[in-house]
Every structure is written in structure tokens, then in C-alpha cells.
């Protein structure tokens, strides 16, 4: 029973695939959303705990929350990609969009298995299931060189990351003699090989999470790949990376991480600073979002410095906040480029006149990402910062807070385009109904999460 | 839901109502705002009365108290895991600031009566900002305080960027980034306080003894963080640009109220929690504040643009606030709080008048104006009254504030050499002379003599709304100037705890 959500997702994927063969013009987005929603409901309804396959598959509170995060990001990404998937006249319409959808569902499935796995083997296999199909998605625009370049870059860096992880896993297996993660945690001796394993895992996950210096692929991939994929990469894929870190940092070698806190602090500083500084110079909005999301990864790293009860909850909360804020922005990006085909920051001139609601949603989400109260992004950052402060890293808090100020500069740059600069032509953009509703709903959540304490309390209760 | 919550969130509710009003009813939402903020002013008066009712009992005890006593308290749990509370209340100082803000926003809405460009969003952003300001003045939970503080700062970007004049984009960005960098320091300071003191509740933290080493590094963090907003030298550079570019109501609100948040925060959070840090760093900040005062006034002499002129004068006068606080002397701190109020009203008057004059002459260039008194006597006289308040003429509120600060400065405190204190105070006092120079010279240039530009002959004097705006502000200036004891009585009880902690 505890595998029900995964099964629902797989069945949905197969249904879309098969129906697409026989029925012309099916509303596949509706089917996918229905499937994901019922998976979400089933995961909420089912009790937490229990195991399957002889302990290979468990449903821990961590797994529970990560699955919710994955499903939420898939749900929102697919809804805001409605134009790409369904509207043939749209400028960002994807060829053979059913397959795109199916692959996306399978990736989600891989991610869900990932957080439930208890051994190195199943963890690695599900991680690959969540990674390899992404290469295909990145190359979706077959005739565009940028898309091909994106896919190739992503493939190489992804392969490198996988091999680093595999090497780390072999070190761990070799020194502890077990594949099981909880047994491994007990058998830890902090030998040099295990410290190497820690470093290699950080590097391997670093690619997925876009930590500096493993971030270089992100901008090209975001720019070249379909926007629907870029938005998915920025949330779900990053969350999967975070999930792997959570498993290893908090469950396998928590003591080692605590003694190497300074190392994490340095990576976090590098990640947020570099991401921010490079974002300052971007002209293309997708590249811009790539660097913005790199700097966000730096903030998330701060959450790993503390104890599980506080750190993990802060990380989970921030991920949820980040998903909603980031996807609102990508939703607006897709709505704009769906009708205009443009994706430069200067193309957003006068959006507040032509589409006041779109601009307002975008503004709130940008403010949320830069951590302005009372929006949820502030609260998320506040909790992450307090984790670092609790560990005595006050300098890191100062660095991170100043970084938020720098980030405000470029987020305000977009707001300036939308609100202050005059538009050449102020034709209003037609936004399709599903996108409109999703954006409104997500914007409300972005605001509500910052004011209502219930969600944070709910996550906290589970641990 | 007590009266304080109503006062804090009434502007926000108004903002929502304004946003929901259809675009076609342009005049309707101006009226909604005017009536709403007028109602707010009345409610503030009611709140002041309620405060006095309960304060009367504690009047004597306040003198020796080490801890701030709150009135009209509302306290609910918010984020349980972090013990964050919705904890609001007032003491005398907060009440004074609430009255100031309420007056400024009411007159500010009236002063924007002629605004035509995207009025709806303008009023909405303005009201959201005011919610933040009121929130800061009543919050006694540091988290809540910080949230409101940011809400008070950020809408400024759009208010200046969209509705401003001149190099508005540059000014708006500079202002926002400098203030936000200040908040970054604040956030780090607040988190340090939380990790050490284990609470966000300001009154509970007041009972915690922070180790000396921590006081020494967190105090300057907070002081500088708030100091940026208080235009502390050398972090004042956002203020002239910002005020010059901002539309009238925003300049009024920003120079009148927002800059006071800086001084208020320094006193409320930094000095309250870190008295020893304050003693340690007293001299450094005193010197900075003296530079503020002197530099601001000299810079004002050189200005040709009416708004820059007033903005530098604001830098100088806000320097007095920081100066008063940094002397750590009871009388001077009292003077600093009165100065917050007095300068708020005065500068509100200045900026509203500049808006009115500019709206007629279409120029703010001082040398190109002249003889305006003949065509707009009401505005001219009001300007002079504001100017006289600014140079500290007795019977106007500026005199009350500044005389307190100087007397306190000469009295000094036990931790600094008396001679240095007196020398610095003398320096600061001297700036009054400079103030007289620039105020009288500038005003004479604009209003006296013959009309320089024939176009000015056709200009008209103040309308009814404008007379109401200037009338209210001038009345307040005189009221505080002539009955200073009322003001002193209001705030005195709340100042004692700060001083008793040194």
C-alpha cells in the first residue's frame, strides 16, 4: 500500500502513452494532473511509516515530505506548461508533447523512489531514473543547436556527477561492508576513505543542486532547453539533489558533517555570492533564473549546518516556498514567451500596464525569492539563517543577508522593466485559463506561507 | 483585536479597498483614502486618551523602572517553534510617533490630491508602507519588528521609481539597496540576539544580561543598520537623492516618518538591549553624529534645488536625533525623541510646500525663482514658519527639541570626558547659525524681492486642500512649541527605563 503513489504515477504515465497512440487530441494534461493529484492525495491519506520489499522501500517522514515536494513541483510545472503541451499555436509549443509529459512523469517517479530507498543500490538506480530522461528532454528542440548544446553539456556533467557518486558509494561499501544506509551510519569510522566519500558525494550532488564550482552547466541548459524543462530542473531536480544530501548528511554521517561545518559554510558562501554576481549581468531571463537559482542553492546549504530537527525542517520549508515562488516566475516567463516568443529581460517593459496581474504576481514572487517580508521567501531564509546562527556562524549570516541585498538589485531590475520603463507597445498578452488559475493560486500560497505558521508547524510535527 | 491592531491594519485595509475600486472612479478612491486616514487620525487620538488612562497610575513608578512598561498590549503566539509572537503595545514614545505618522499620512494623502498618473497604485503602495511604519512603532517582538520594518522600506522603490521626478530610477535603486544593506546588518544582529537570549520578545530580552563581548559587536551592527535609515554619516547619501526624486507625499512620509524609524530603532532595540555596548561605542557615534549635523547644514547652504536643500537640512536635523541619543543623557535623549516628532512635522510641511510651489512654478531651481510672496502669500508665510521652526525659533517645536539636546549634551554623561562632550555639543550648536544662513537666504531668494519671471505673475495661492494641509502641520508646530510640557509629559515616562539601564 505505501507504494501506491508511485504506482499511480506510473499508471498515469502509461495511460497517457497508450491513449496517445489511439486517440487523437486527448487532453493529456488533464489526465496527468488528475494522476498526480490522486498520487498527492493518496500520499497524504496514507499513514507514514511501514516498509516494503524486505526493507528496501520505506516511507519515513523525510520521504513523505520530499514526495509531496516532488509531486507539487510536477503538478505546478505541468499546469504552467499548458501552452507548451497543448496549445498548438503557442510559440513555445513542443513537438510530440505527450512523450515529453510521459518522461516527466517517469522522472518524478524516479525521484519518489529515491527518497524511499534504504540501500545504495536502489538509491543509485532511482537517481539515474530521475536523471537520464532529463537529457532527452533537454534535447527536445531537435533542430536547434542551442538545445543540442544544452543536452550535451547536461549529459557530460550529469555523467561525471553520477560517476563521482558511484565512486563514493563504492568507498562507503568498501569501508563499512554494507549497502544498507542505516547500518552504514552505525559502522562509520571516519576513515580517510569515508571523508573522501563525503567530499565526492558533495561534489556529485553539487552538480544536481548547482553548487559552485559545479554550476557551469546550468545557465546554458536553462537557456537552450525548453522553458518547461528549465522550470522543472530549477525546482524538482534541485529538490532531488537536496534529498540525496539529506539522506547522507543527516542520516549516514551526521557527525562528520558537523565537524566539517566550516567546509559547508565556504561552499555556501561561494555558491550564493557567485550566483548573485553573475546574475547581475544577465540579459536573458532564463539564464538569469539559472543564476538566481544557483544562489538559492547556497542559502539551502546553510540549513545543513545544524541538527536534523531544526536544519531539515528549515530546508524542507524553504524548498516548498522556493517551488512556489520560482514556478510563479517561470509561469510568467512562459506566458510571455508563449505569445511573444521573446525571453529577454528587456521584453518585459511595461508589463504592469498591459498585464497588471501578471506583473504583480511576478513582483511578489521576485520579492519572495529575494527574501522580503512578509512574503514566504523571507520566512524560509530566516529559518535557514537561524540554523547557521545557532551554530555560531554569524559571519555567514551577514554574508548571506548582504547577498540577499545584492540579489534584490537584480530582481528589482526586472521590476523596473515591468513597472517603471515605458513600453513601446502595450498589447495585453492572452494567458490561457489553466495557467492563469495556477499562477493566481501559487501567488496566494507565496503570500500565505509567509504569514500563516501552520505549514511550518505541520512539517515540524513529523520529526 | 484591540485598537492598536486596528490602527496598524486600517491603512492596509484601505489599500485593498482602493485596489478593488474600479478604475473609472478616480475621485472616489482619493476620498476613500482621505476619509480613511482622517478616521485613522481620530482613532489615534482615542488611542492616546486610552493610553493616558492607564499610564496615569504608573507615572511615579516609571522614574525608577529598569524595564519598559507597555500599555494596550495584544499578544498572540505566531511561530511556536521559534517563540515568535504577534506582540504589540505602546509606551509614551510609541504614542508620540503614532500621532506623528497619523498626521503625516493624512496630510500626505491630501497633498497628493492633484496626482493624476496611476493614482490608484500610488495610494495603495503608500498605504501599505504606512502599515509597516505603524507596525514598527508598536511591535515589541523583534521578528515582527523586522517584518514591519521591511514593509515600511520596500514600497519606496516603486513609489520613487514610478512616480518620482529627475533621476528617479537611480535614486530609487540607491535608496532601496542602501536601506536593505542596513537591514541585512539588522537581521544578523537580531539572529545573534535570538541565539544568545533565546527569545524575540523585547521585554523578556531586557531581563537577559548579554555578555560584554557580544554587546561590543552586536551594538554597532544594530546602530549602523538603523543608522542607515536615520541618515547617519557616511551612510546618508541615499537621502538627498531619494528625497529629491520622490513625489511630494512620499518625501513627506519618508523624511517625516521613515527616517525616524532609524533613531527609534536605535533607542528601542540597540540601546535598550545593549546599554554597555552603548557606553563603549558612545564616543564613536557621537563624533559621527556631529559630522552629520555640521556637514548636513553646510551642504544645504550650497544647494540650488529646493528639494536637495530641504533634504540636506533633513540630514542635519536627523543628525541631531542621533546626536541626542549618543550622548546617553536623559535630557538629550528626551530632546532626541521630541526632535523626531518636531522634525517629522516640520519636514512634512517643507516637502508639502515644495510640492505645491513646484506644481505651480514647474521649477525647483532656487536662483530662478523670486518674489513669489506677492502671488502666493499663504504658501510663502507657511514656508517661513517652517524655516523658523527649522532654525529653532522659540515658540515653535524645533526650539523645544534642540534646546533639550544641547542642554543634555553640555551636561554630558559619566563615561565620557566632559570637555570633549562640550566641545562636540558646541560644534553641533554652531550649526544653528549655518541653518539660519541657508534657511533665510534660500527663502528670501524664492519669496522676497521682485517677481523675476513674468510667468509667475499668473500663479495662484493655496487651494482649500492645500490650506488644510499646511494649516494642520503649522498648528502642530506651534502646539508643541507653546505647550511643550504636554509632549514632554507624554514621552518622559518611557525614556527613564533606557537611561536607568546605563
Q: How many A/B residue pairs have CB atoms within 8 Å? A: 83
Q: What is the pLDDT of residue A201?
A: 92
C-alpha cell at A438: 495556477
**Which residues does A166 contact at the CB level (< 8 Å), separation at least 6?**
A124
CA dist B422 and B237 (Å) reads 28
Per the document, the length of chain A is: 463
Query: What's the rounded Cα separation, in Å, for the pair A126 and A108?
Result: 10
Q: Answer whether the bond into residue B234 is a cis peptide, omega within 30°.
A: yes
Please give the backbone phi and psi of residue B459, each rounded to the nearest 5 degrees, phi first: -70, 155
CA distance B36 to A62: 49
Least confident of A422-426, B159-163, B260-264: A422-426
pLDDT confidence of residue B39: 93
Chain B residue with the nearest C-alpha to that of A460 = B81
pLDDT value, residue B30: 84
Q: What pLDDT, on the 0 to 100 scale, is given for residue A430?
A: 83
Buried b (16+ CB within 10 A) or exposed e, B426-435: ebbbebbebb
Q: For a pLDDT cut of 70, what percent of chain A falls above it? A: 99
pLDDT above 70 (res B247): yes
**pLDDT above 80 (res B198):** yes
What's the mean pLDDT when you consider all of chain B? 88
Average pLDDT over residues A154-177: 91
B161 with A390: Cβ contact below 8 A: no
- Which chain B residue shows the shortest CA-CA distance from A398? B188
Q: What is the pLDDT of residue A163?
A: 92
Rounded distance, CA A367 to CA A375, Å?
A: 7
Distance from CA of A399 to the nearest CA of B (A): 9
Question: For A128-153, what is each residue's pLDDT tens digit?
Answer: 999 999 888 888 888 888 888 888 88
Q: How far is CA A340 from CA A77, A230, A299, A334, in A?
A: 20, 18, 34, 10
**Residue B183 CB-half CA count within 13 A:** 30
What does the pLDDT look like over B178-192, one tens digit per residue? 988 899 999 999 999
| pTM recorded for the entire structure | 0.92
The model's pLDDT over A248-279, given as tens digits with 9 standing for 90+, comes to: 888 888 888 888 888 889 999 999 999 889 88
**CA of B310, closest CA in chain A: separation in Å?**
26
Copy the grid coordinates of residue A34. 488528475
Beta carbons of B187 and A382 less than 8 Å apart: yes
Q: Which three cell numbers stand for residue A169?
A: 558509494
Q: Is the pLDDT of residue A59 over 90?
A: no
pLDDT of residue A38: 93
Question: For residue A373, which residues of chain B lie inside 8 Å, CB to CB?
Answer: 146-147, 150-151
- B182, B235 in Cβ contact below 8 A? yes
Average pLDDT over residues B332-349: 92
Distance CA A115, CA A316 (A): 13
- Estimate to the nearest angstrom the gap between the alpha carbon of B358 and the chain centroid: 23
| Alpha-carbon distance values, B476 to B104, B349, B473 (Å) | 11, 10, 5
Which residues of chain B are within 8 Å of residue A408 when distances are taken between CB atoms? 176-177, 180
Using a CB-CB cut-off of 8 Å, the residues of chain B touching A453 are 78-80
End-to-end Cα separation, chain B, in angstroms: 36
Residue A189 pLDDT exceeds 90: no
* Domain boundaries, given as residue ranges, for chain B: 3-500
**What pLDDT was estimated at residue A361?**
92
Chain B environment of A389 (Cβ under 8 Å): 188, 191-192, 194-195
Q: Are A279 and A410 in contact (CB under 8 A)?
A: yes
Q: How far does CA A160 lie from the centroid of its chain?
A: 20
> What is the distance of C-alpha A311 from the center of its chain?
18
Task: Decide which of A383 and A26 is more confident.
Answer: A383
Shortest CA distance from A449: residue in chain B: B79
> Who has greater pLDDT, A291 or A93?
A291
Task: Give residue for cell 521626478.
Answer: B165
Model confidence at B42, in pLDDT bands (50, 70, 90)?
very high
Q: Give the integer Cα–Cα distance in Å for A407 and A366.
A: 10
Instruction: Render pLDDT for A60-74 as a digit per residue (tens, 0 to 9).
Output: 888 999 999 999 999
Query: Residues A396-455: pLDDT tens digits?
Result: 999 999 999 889 888 988 988 888 887 765 677 888 888 899 999 999 999 999 888 888
Q: What share of chain A is helix, strand, coil (3-state, %, to 5)?
A: 80, 0, 20
CA–CA min distance A212, chain B (Å) = 23
Best CA proximity match to B257, nearest among B360, B341, B339, B324: B341
Q: What angle do CA A290, A294, A297 make, to 5 degrees?
A: 140
Q: Are A321 and A380 in contact (CB under 8 A)?
A: yes
The CA–CA distances, whole Å, from B147 to A172, A318, B144, B196 equal: 45, 18, 5, 21
Amino acid at each position: 500500500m505505501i507504494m501506491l503513489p508511485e504506482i499511480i504515477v506510473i499508471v498515469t504515465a502509461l495511460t497517457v502513452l497508450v491513449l496517445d497512440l489511439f486517440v487523437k487530441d486527448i487532453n493529456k494534461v488533464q489526465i496527468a494532473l488528475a494522476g498526480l493529484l490522486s498520487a498527492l492525495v493518496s500520499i497524504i491519506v496514507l499513514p507514514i511509516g511501514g516498509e516494503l520489499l524486505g526493507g528496501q522501500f520505506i516511507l519515513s517522514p523525510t520521504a513523505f515530505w520530499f514526495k509531496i515536494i516532488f509531486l507539487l513541483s510536477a503538478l505546478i510545472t505541468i499546469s504552467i506548461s499548458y501552452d507548451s503541451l497543448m496549445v498548438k499555436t503557442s510559440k513555445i509549443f513542443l513537438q510530440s508533447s505527450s512523450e515529453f509529459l510521459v518522461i516527466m512523469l517517469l522522472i518524478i517517479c524516479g525521484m519518489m523512489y529515491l527518497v524511499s530507498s534504504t540501500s545504495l543500490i536502489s538509491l543509485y538506480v532511482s537517481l539515474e531514473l530521475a536523471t537520464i530522461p532529463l537529457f532527452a528532454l533537454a534535447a527536445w528542440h531537435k533542430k536547434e543547436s542551442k538545445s543540442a548544446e544544452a543536452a550535451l553539456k547536461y549529459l557530460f556533467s550529469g555523467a561525471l556527477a553520477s560517476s563521482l557518486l558511484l565512486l563514493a558509494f563504492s568507498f562507503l561499501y568498501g569501508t563499512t561492508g554494507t549497502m544498507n544506509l542505516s547500518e552504514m551510519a552505525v559502522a562509520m569510522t571516519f576513515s580517510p576513505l569515508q571523508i573522501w566519500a563525503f567530499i565526492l558525494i558533495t561534489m556529485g550532488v553539487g552538480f544536481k543542486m548547482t553548487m559552485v564550482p559545479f554550476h557551469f552547466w546550468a545557465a546554458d541548459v536553462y537557456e537552450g532547453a525548453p522553458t518547461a524543462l528549465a522550470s522543472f530542473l530549477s525546482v524538482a531536480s534541485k529538490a532531488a539533489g537536496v534529498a540525496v544530501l539529506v539522506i547522507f548528511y543527516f542520516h549516514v554521517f551526521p557527525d562528520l558533517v558537523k565537524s566539517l561545518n566550516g567546509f559547508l559554510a565556504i561552499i555556501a558562501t561561494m555558491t550564493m555570492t557567485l550566483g548573485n554576481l553573475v546574475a547581475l549581468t544577465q540579459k536573458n531571463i532564463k539564464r538569469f533564473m539559472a543564476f538566481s537559482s544557483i544562489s538559492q542553492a547556497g542559502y539551502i546549504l546553510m540549513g545543513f549546518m545544524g541538527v536534523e530537527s531544526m536544519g531539515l525542517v528549515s530546508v524542507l520549508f524553504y524548498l516548498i516556498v522556493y517551488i512556489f515562488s520560482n514556478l510563479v516566475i517561470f509561469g510568467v516567463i512562459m506566458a510571455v514567451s508563449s505569445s511573444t516568443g521573446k525571453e529577454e529581460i528587456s521584453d518585459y517593459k511595461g508589463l504592469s500596464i498591459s498585464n497588471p496581474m501578471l506583473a504583480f504576481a511576478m513582483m511578489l514572487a521576485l520579492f519572495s525569492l529575494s527574501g522580503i517580508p512578509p512574503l514566504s521567501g523571507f520566512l524560509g531564509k530566516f529559518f535557514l539563517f537561524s540554523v547557521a546562527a545557532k551554530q555560531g556562524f554569524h559571519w555567514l549570516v551577514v554574508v548571506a543577508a548582504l547577498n540577499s541585498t545584492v540579489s534584490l538589485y537584480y530582481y528589482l531590475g526586472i521590476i523596473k522593466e515591468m513597472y517603471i520603463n515605458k513600453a513601446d507597445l502595450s498589447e495585453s498578452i492572452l494567458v490561457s485559463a489553466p495557467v492563469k488559475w495556477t499562477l493566481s493560486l501559487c501567488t496566494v500560497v507565496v503570500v500565505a506561507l509567509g504569514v500563516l505558521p501552520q505549514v511550518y508547524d505541520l512539517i515540524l510535527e513529523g520529526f | 483585536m484591540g485598537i492598536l491592531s486596528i490602527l496598524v491594519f486600517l491603512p492596509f485595509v484601505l489599500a485593498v479597498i482602493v485596489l478593488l475600486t474600479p478604475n473609472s472612479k478616480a475621485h472616489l478612491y482619493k476620498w476613500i483614502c482621505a476619509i480613511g486616514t482622517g478616521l485613522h487620525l481620530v482613532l489615534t487620538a482615542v488611542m492616546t486618551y486610552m493610553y493616558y488612562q492607564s499610564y496615569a497610575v504608573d507615572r511615579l513608578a516609571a522614574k525608577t523602572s529598569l524595564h519598559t512598561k507597555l500599555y494596550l498590549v495584544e499578544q498572540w503566539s505566531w511561530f511556536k517553534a521559534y517563540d515568535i509572537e504577534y506582540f504589540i503595545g505602546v509606551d509614551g514614545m510609541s504614542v508620540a510617533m503614532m500621532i506623528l505618522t497619523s498626521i503625516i499620512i493624512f496630510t500626505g494623502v491630501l497633498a497628493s490630491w492633484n496626482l493624476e498618473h496611476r493614482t490608484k497604485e500610488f495610494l495603495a503602495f503608500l498605504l501599505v508602507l504606512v502599515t509597516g511604519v505603524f507596525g514598527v512603532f508598536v511591535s515589541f517582538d523583534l521578528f515582527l519588528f523586522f517584518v514591519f520594518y521591511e514593509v515600511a522600506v520596500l514600497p519606496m522603490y516603486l513609489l520613487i521609481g514610478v512616480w518620482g521626478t529627475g533621476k528617479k530610477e537611480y535614486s530609487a535603486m540607491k535608496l532601496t539597496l542602501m536601506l536593505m544593506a542596513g537591514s541585512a546588518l539588522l537581521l544578523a544582529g537580531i539572529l545573534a540576539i535570538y541565539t544568545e537570549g533565546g527569545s524575540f520578545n523585547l521585554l523578556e530580552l531586557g531581563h537577559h544580561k548579554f555578555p560584554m563581548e557580544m554587546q561590543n559587536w552586536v551594538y554597532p551592527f544594530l546602530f549602523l543598520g538603523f543608522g542607515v535609515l536615520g541618515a547617519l554619516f557616511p551612510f546618508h547619501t541615499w537621502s538627498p537623492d531619494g528625497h529629491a526624486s520622490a513625489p511630494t507625499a512620499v518625501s513627506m512620509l519618508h523624511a517625516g516618518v521613515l527616517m525616524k524609524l532609524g533613531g527609534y530603532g536605535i533607542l528601542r532595540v540597540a540601546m535598550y538591549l545593549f546599554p554597555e555596548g552603548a557606553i563603549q561605542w558612545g564616543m564613536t557615534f557621537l563624533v559621527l553624529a556631529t559630522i552629520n549635523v555640521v556637514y548636513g547644514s553646510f551642504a544645504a547652504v550650497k544647494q540650488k534645488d529646493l528639494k536637495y536643500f530641504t533634504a540636506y537640512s533633513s540630514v542635519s536635523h536627523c543628525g541631531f536625533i542621533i546626536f541626542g541619543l549618543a550622548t546617553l543623557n536623559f535630557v538629550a535623549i528626551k530632546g532626541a525623541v521630541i526632535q523626531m516628532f518636531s522634525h517629522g512635522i516640520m519636514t512634512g510641511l517643507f516637502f508639502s510646500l515644495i510640492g505645491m510651489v513646484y506644481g505651480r512654478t514647474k521649477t525647483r531651481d532656487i536662483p530662478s525663482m523670486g518674489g513669489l510672496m506677492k502671488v502666493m502669500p499663504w504658501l510663502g508665510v507657511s514656508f517661513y514658519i517652517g524655516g523658523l521652526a527649522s532654525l529653532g525659533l522659540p515658540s515653535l517645536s524645533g526650539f523645544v527639541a534642540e534646546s533639550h539636546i544641547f542642554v543634555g549634551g553640555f551636561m554630558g554623561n559619566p563615561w565620557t570626558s566632559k570637555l570633549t562632550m562640550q566641545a562636540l555639543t558646541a560644534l553641533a550648536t554652531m550649526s544653528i547659525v549655518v541653518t539660519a544662513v541657508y534657511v533665510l537666504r534660500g527663502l528670501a531668494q524664492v519669496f522676497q524681492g521682485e517677481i523675476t519671471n513674468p510667468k509667475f505673475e499668473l500663479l495662484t495661492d493655496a487651494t482649500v486642500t492645500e490650506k488644510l494641509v499646511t494649516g494642520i502641520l503649522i498648528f502642530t508646530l506651534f502646539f508643541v512649541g507653546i505647550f511643550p510640557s504636554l509632549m514632554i509629559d507624554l514621552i518622559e515616562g518611557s525614556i527613564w527605563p533606557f537611561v536607568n539601564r546605563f
